[in-house]
Each structure stands twice: as structure tokens, then as C-alpha cells.
């Protein structure tokens, strides 16, 4: 692009060269002889200071004074001047400005049928900002969230591409409730008004796909079909849950990352997950330092230290059985709401206790009871536990879940039947075990949970541009 971003201007050595700044005004301060206008274009956390000096004349001239007078918070402007070293602390350069054009107004007060710009210079609650989600990226908080999210998204691709993983897109619409992982959204082109009037059961042969179709809950099974052809693949796409859970950790639509590797056992999977998290955290610590400093200061104190400590940890490996023994031993001291016992699913309080109190660092718990894990996980020789793994990190608990997959045809068919499912529905999935089967492993990570972890944002609805939840599909 022809014009420079403010991020680029801020990184340019000042030599009184001509510079043009475009962006939105954050603040204007009009002192006796100086007018300071801070302009931000969202390319980085920091805006650039533009200083207009009235000099000995005491005025910038009629036209420019009028333009400066009309500038409000939120106005889009173009400012021309010379790039100069800044006398102020905390910024290397500023613009010795000589000209300003207002591109777009942002009225500070209601005028005619246009309400005042809602983002006046003051603190706004996150709840209020959720209602104006189309404008909230203009604030410090949501600008920072967006940049961190973008950097993490790119780092996901860099990590896998550097390691020979192929990026694949698994289907969003599917006629198979493959994983049985939760409530699904139905996708249809049937005319529901006509259907209701007809009084006749829906005829899915007339629906777009000729059968009942849904939004996917996971791309894993399809990813396995590609891992057993290309060895290393990953997905990064939206997944859906139609669960009526109105919490700060659930969305109906969220993005998921799912690597899958053939000739990889659970041990390889654990190393991959550990390397992955460290790579992601390093990427944002290096490239989003100002955004993270903001989160550390204003959103969750200590978040930078948390990320660094994960990077500097060797992840502990612990079987579910050992983890449960530790939790039972902690027993009454821990004051769990939910008493842990062998066979129970680990609750968030147990996960946090394990990583924060017992291990004091990241821990990968493996070999869970088969009853609490999915049908496709590889059975251990004890026939009681499966080669599952959950990666737990301090301050959050589970951030990644994965497993080695059952690669034995007979055992997988048996497991499908045991769980009351129909092997015919999984015929294509079973083919992977019929033809050139190979050990393979993978994991899934919810992208929004990752962004929450890195930013410290308490509500998952604040780390995705337009959150979808019960009753919420605006914009």
C-alpha cells in the first residue's frame, strides 16, 4: 500500500522528512501556543503525537485553526508535517504538524438525526462495548485483542507449516454427527413456514443436501483421513455447538485448531503440544509487546510472567491415575466443591489445583478412563484407560485436549458398538484402519480460549469480533 501505517512511521528515524499521518483522533489538547492531536490507526497499540505550534504569531491561520477547532475524538484526519524527535517521554518521534484535513466527522454531541459518537474519551464498560461491537475495535482494549488474535492466528500457521504440516479445510456442513460431541445446529433450505402449514413430516430428500445436515462440531475425523495420506495435516476453522450455556467460556461459534499426524504416538503428540504453546506465546511476547503490556497493566496483572513461565517450563507428564492419587491426597486441604475419585471427569477446580498447587507449572495428564473419553481414542492394554491427553496450564486449566487414535480395526469396531453407535455410520472412518492403517495422534485447541489466556480477557465474547451465543447473532 502506498501510505505508511502509524506503526511504520513510529519506527522511522526522524530526520525532519515530510510525513503524512492518516487515522482517527484519540485526543486533542489545546494549550496556549501548542495544539496536540494524538492519532491512532490501529496498526499498533500506540498512536502518534502531532504537534501544531502557533509560534510567535499566536495563530495557525484561519483555515487550520477552524479545522483544529472542529476535530473531535473519533474524527478521521489526514495530518501533514515533518517527522521529528519527540521531547516527551515514552515516544521516540512526533509530527511537527503544519496541516490538517478532517476526512470524517465524529460529532461530540447529537446533531440532527445523528447521535453523538458513542466512544467519547472516557472509560466504557465491556458490556456497553459489546452492544456496539461494530465500533469497539476502535478502543485500546479491542484493538489490542484484535492484534494479538491476528498474531496468534498467523503463528498457528507458521508453526505447523515450518514442521511440514499441510493446512486442510474440513467441511463446515456435514450430514454425519461424527464425534457425537454435542448439540448441533441444523442447516436447511426447507421453507419452514410452508412446512408448518403442511402438517406433514419434513421430507429431507427435498432439502438442499438430500438429508438432514448440520454444522460441524469438529474436523478431526476428516483430518484423520488426510493424515493417513499426507502424514501431517492441520485444520483451523470454525466449529459449532448448539448448547444453551450462557457462560464466559462458551460460544456457539468458535474457531478450532486440530493437528493430526500419522506415525505419531501419544509421546510425539505431547511434545508437539508443548512446542506449539511455547511457539505461540513467544510470538506474541516478541511481536505484541505493547499490547501485552496493556493487558498486564489493565486487564490481568501478571499475565506476561505467566506466559514466560510456561515458555520456561518443561511440561510435566502425569497419568490420570497418578493425578487422581495426588488430588485425593490433597483431599480436605484443597476444599474441592466436587470430590475427586478415580473415574470422574476432571473438573476445572481439579485441573487448576494440579497445575497451580501440585505441579506448579504446565502438566499433561494422560491415560484417562475410557468411559469419560471419546470412542476413537486408542485403548491401553489395561482395557480400562485410553491414550488421551489434556494439557493443563496455570490460571486456566485445560487448554488442549488430544489423544492417540485407535488404529486397530477390530478394537475400534468393538468400541463403536459398545457405545451404542452404528459401525455403518463410520464406514469411511473405519476404512482408514482397513487400508494401510498407521498409528496417528492429534489434538484440538479452541482458538478463543487461547486468546483469552494470552490477553487475560475474562469473557470469551470479548475475544472474537462478533460473538454468537444464545439469543445473539447481531451484525
Instruction: Map the footprint of its own copies across residues 168-197, applying CB under 8 A.
Output: 168-176, 183, 185-190, 192-193, 195-197
- The verdict on 371 binding its own copies (CB under 8 A) reads no
Angle of the 289-298 helix axis to the 266-287 helix axis, nearest 10: 90
Task: Please say whether the beta carbons of 439 and 224 come within 8 A.
Answer: no
- Of 65-124, binders to its own copies (CB under 8 A) are 74-76, 78, 103-107, 114, 117-119
For residues 17 and 244, which CB has a smaller minimum distance to its own copies in the complex? 244
For residues 42 and 340, which CB has a smaller minimum distance to its own copies in the complex? 42
- The verdict on 338 binding its own copies (CB under 8 A) reads no
Please, which residues bridge with residue 51 across strands? Answer: 36, 96
Smallest Cα–Cα separation from 106: which of 39, 16, 197?
39
Q: Segment near its own copies (CB under 8 A), from 137-145, 299-307, 327-335, 338-346?
A: 137-145
Smallest Cα–Cα separation from 401: which of 220, 240, 137, 231?
220
What is the per-residue burial (b if ≥16 Cβ within 10 Å, else e) of 218-248? Answer: bbbbbbbbbbbeebbbbbbbebbbeeeeeee
For residues 181 and 438, which CB has a smaller minimum distance to its own copies in the complex? 438
CB of 211 to its own copies, least distance (A): 7
CB of 46 to its own copies, least distance (A): 13
CA distances from 14 to 6, 47, 466 (A): 13, 16, 39
Residue 270's H or E segment, with its range, is helix 266-287
Q: Segment near its own copies (CB under 8 A), from 10-18, 28-36, 227-235, 337-345?
A: 227-235
Smallest Cα–Cα separation from 462: which of 148, 168, 204, 209?
148
Residue whose cell numbers read 473531535: 72
- The verdict on 226 binding its own copies (CB under 8 A) reads yes
Task: Please say whether the beta carbons of 378 and 405 come within 8 A.
Answer: yes
Residue whose cell numbers read 507449516: 161
- Of 26-45, binders to its own copies (CB under 8 A) are 41-43
Q: How many Cα atoms sit within 13 Å of 459 on the Cβ side?
A: 16
- Of 233-292, binders to its own copies (CB under 8 A) are 237-238, 240, 242, 244, 252-253, 255, 261-264, 268, 271-272
CB of 94 to its own copies, least distance (A): 20
Q: Segment near its own copies (CB under 8 A), from 121-129, 229-237, 347-355, 414-422?
A: 229-237
CB of 416 to its own copies, least distance (A): 15
Residue whose cell numbers read 472516557: 122
For residues 16 and 198, which CB has a smaller minimum distance to its own copies in the complex? 198
For residues 309 and 423, which CB has a smaller minimum distance to its own copies in the complex? 423
CB of 308 to its own copies, least distance (A): 24
- Phi, psi angle pair for 311, to nearest 5°: -60, -35
CB of 251 to its own copies, least distance (A): 11
Smallest Cα–Cα separation from 26: which of 40, 43, 7, 46?
40
For residues 171 and 343, which CB has a smaller minimum distance to its own copies in the complex? 171
For residues 32 and 434, which CB has a smaller minimum distance to its own copies in the complex? 434
How many residues touch its own copies under the rule CB under 8 A: the total is 122
For residues 211 and 339, which CB has a smaller minimum distance to its own copies in the complex? 211
Cα 93 versus chain centre, distance: 33
Task: Please say whether the beta carbons of 256 and 135 come within 8 A.
Answer: no
Smallest Cα–Cα separation from 468: which of 241, 225, 148?
241
From candidates 210, 302, 331, 343, binder to its own copies by CB under 8 A: 210
CB of 444 to its own copies, least distance (A): 17
From candidates 128, 338, 342, 466, binder to its own copies by CB under 8 A: 466
For residues 272 and 457, which CB has a smaller minimum distance to its own copies in the complex? 272
Residues in the chain, total? 475
Amino acid at each position: 500500500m502506498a501510505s505508511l501505517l502509524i506503526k511504520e512511521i513510529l519506527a522511522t528515524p526522524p530526520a525532519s522528512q515530510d510525513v503524512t499521518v492518516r487515522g482517527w483522533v484519540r485526543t486533542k489538547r489545546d494549550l496556549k501556543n501548542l495544539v496536540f492531536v494524538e492519532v491512532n490507526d490501529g496498526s499498533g497499540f500506540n498512536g502518534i503525537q502531532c504537534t501544531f505550534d502557533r509560534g510567535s504569531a499566536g495563530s495557525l491561520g484561519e483555515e487550520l485553526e477552524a479545522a483544529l477547532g472542529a476535530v473531535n475524538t473519533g474524527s478521521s484526519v489526514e495530518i501533514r508535517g515533518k517527522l521529528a524527535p519527540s521531547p516527551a517521554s515514552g515516544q521516540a518521534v512526533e509530527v511537527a504538524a503544519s496541516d490538517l484535513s478532517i476526512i470524517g466527522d465524529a460529532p461530540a454531541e447529537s446533531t440532527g438525526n445523528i447521535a453523538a459518537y458513542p466512544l467519547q474519551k472516557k472509560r466504557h464498560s465491556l458490556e456497553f462495548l459489546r452492544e456496539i461491537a461494530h465500533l469497539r475495535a476502535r478502543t485500546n482494549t479491542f484493538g489490542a485483542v484484535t492484534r494479538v488474535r491476528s498474531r496468534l492466528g498467523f503463528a498457528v500457521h507458521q508453526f505447523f507449516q515450518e514442521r511440514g504440516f499441510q493446512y486442510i479445510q474440513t467441511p463446515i456442513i456435514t450430514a454425519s454427527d461424527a464425534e457425537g460431541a454435542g448439540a448441533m445446529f441444523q442447516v436447511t433450505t426447507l421453507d419452514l413456514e410452508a412446512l408448518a402449514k403442511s402438517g406433514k413430516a419434513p421430507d429431507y430428500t427435498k432439502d438442499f443436501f438430500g438429508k438432514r445436515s448440520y454444522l460441524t462440531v469438529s474436523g478431526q475425523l476428516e483430518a484423520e483421513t488426510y493424515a493417513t495420506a499426507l502424514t501431517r495435516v492441520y485444520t483451523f476453522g470454525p466449529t459449532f455447538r448448539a448448547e444453551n450455556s450462557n457462560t464466559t467460556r462458551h460460544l456457539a461459534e468458535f474457531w478450532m485448531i486440530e493437528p493430526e499426524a500419522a506415525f505419531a504416538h501419544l509421546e510425539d503428540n505431547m511434545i508437539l503440544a508443548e512446542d506449539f504453546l511455547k511457539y505461540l506465546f513467544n510470538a506474541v511476547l516478541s511481536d505484541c509487546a505493547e499490547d501485552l503490556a496493556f493487558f498486564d497493566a489493565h486487564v490481568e496483572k501478571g499475565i506476561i510472567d505467566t506466559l514466560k513461565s510456561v515458555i520456561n517450563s518443561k511440561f510435566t507428564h502425569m497419568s490420570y491415575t497418578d493425578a487422581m492419587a495426588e488430588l485425593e491426597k490433597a483431599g480436605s486441604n484443597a476444599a474441592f466443591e466436587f470430590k475427586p475419585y478415580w473415574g470422574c471427569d476432571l473438573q476445572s477446580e481439579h485441573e487448576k489445583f494440579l497445575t497451580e498447587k501440585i505441579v506448579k507449572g504446565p502438566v499433561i495428564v494422560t491415560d484417562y478412563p475410557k468411559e469419560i473419553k471419546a470412542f476413537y481414542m486408542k485403548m491401553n492394554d489395561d482395557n480400562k484407560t485410553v491414550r488421551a491427553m489434556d494439557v493443563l496450564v496455570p490460571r486456566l486449566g485445560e487448554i488442549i485436549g488430544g489423544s492417540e487414535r485407535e488404529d486397530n480395526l477390530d478394537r475400534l469396531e468393538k468400541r463403536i458398538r459398545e457405545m451404542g453407535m452404528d459401525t455403518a455410520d463410520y464406514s469411511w472412518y473405519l476404512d482408514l484402519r482397513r487400508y494401510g492403517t498407521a498409528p496417528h495422534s492429534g489434538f484440538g485447541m479452541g482458538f478463543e480460549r487461547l486468546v483469552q489466556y494470552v490477553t487475560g480477557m475474562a469473557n470469551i465474547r470479548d475475544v472474537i469480533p462478533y460473538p454468537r451465543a444464545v439469543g445473539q447473532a447481531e451484525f
